Structure 1
């Protein structure tokens, strides 16, 4: 079994916002997410994050703001006894034609390179169709959580022939319960 689990950030680990999460104060963890990540780490999984952060390109926040958000996220997980193996983010906007913005699999390839592992057979957990599309393109198993934009994504998931049989969970904690069962 592949011991890599890749998580989207906004809507999976922390609360999402249609106005973007722009500061460390706006970065609010979803209850149980830090504990769930720590449980995976303690069970021998490497946990990585793959997150689109076009707010950088749009000028909504700075790299220092993003670093502070990721420091807070890492500290909360560390306090529960876990750690992130890698955090990959796409700083580009939708018109930048990069290879890392999900639904493209570039962030997952960055994680593979950083950790010297293959993502084939790993899990990609997200709250949007593009998260799952990126995971599927990299050979991952995919799971949708209903937090964040997950509830709104359910009808799109049902309409996508390639992804309609994806696993769906209430939240990250429920996904981890499934993985560790």
Structure 2
């Protein structure tokens, strides 16, 4: 079985902007490439699991999302990082009804585990919202980090709340 690094997109890979779908508005968060490269070098597969309710809200469509996602994956490739797959939930319960993929439900993570033979207990999730952490815990991921660069969040079910990515990969038990 393989280990994986699961990342939320908005607020972890890129600076959070409401209903982001244009590459001109996309800004990578400092340290994301170094973090991913570190874990990739340790043999982790890298997955993105992202709620995208802007699709259900008709703020952008699947084609807009795919176009931005392909561009983002290319930017990772330019930094010698392979994104194994991007999973997204285009739903919103008030608009499109209930689903199994919208975080905090674990559907996207469980799909990745099944498709890629992932050892979830020895995998890692980094999110910027408690629902990301809950999805990881609901899936059985063993180590979770809540990324909060503003240092406002004081309580979480996460293994640790971090304000920069160095706090994760420089002190992570799996790297030793």
Shorter-chain TM-score category? 0.7 to 0.9
In the alignment, which residue of structure 1 is the partner of 2:59? Answer: 60
SS of 1:48's equivalent in the other structure is strand
Q: Provide Cα deviations, 1:27-60, integer angstroms capped at 9, x if missing partner.
A: 2111221232122212211111111011111111
CA distance in 2 between partners of 1:43 and 1:120 (Å): 16
TM-score by length of 2: 0.87
Which moves more between the two structures, 94-103 or 20-29?
20-29
Distance in 2, matches of 1:156 and 1:20, equals: 26
Unmatched runs of 5 consecutive residues or more in structure 2: none
Gaps of 5+ in 1: 158-162
Who is 1:16 aligned against? Answer: 16
Query: What per-residue deviation string (whole Å, max 9, x for no partner) do you get for residues 77-130 of structure 1?
Result: 111111111211101013320010001111111111221223233111101000
> Runs of at least 4 residues of structure 1 off by over 4 A?
none
Between the aligned partners of 2:79 and 2:55, the Cα distance in structure 1 is 29
- Secondary structure of the residue aligned to 2:121 is coil
The 2-side partners of 1:174 and 1:79 are apart by 24
Do the aligned partners of 1:38 and 1:77 also contact (CA within 8 Å) in 2?
A: no
- For the aligned residue pairs, the C-alpha RMSD in angstroms reads 2.0
- Distance in 1 between residues matched to 2:28 and 2:66, nearest whole Å: 16
Aligned positions, number: 171
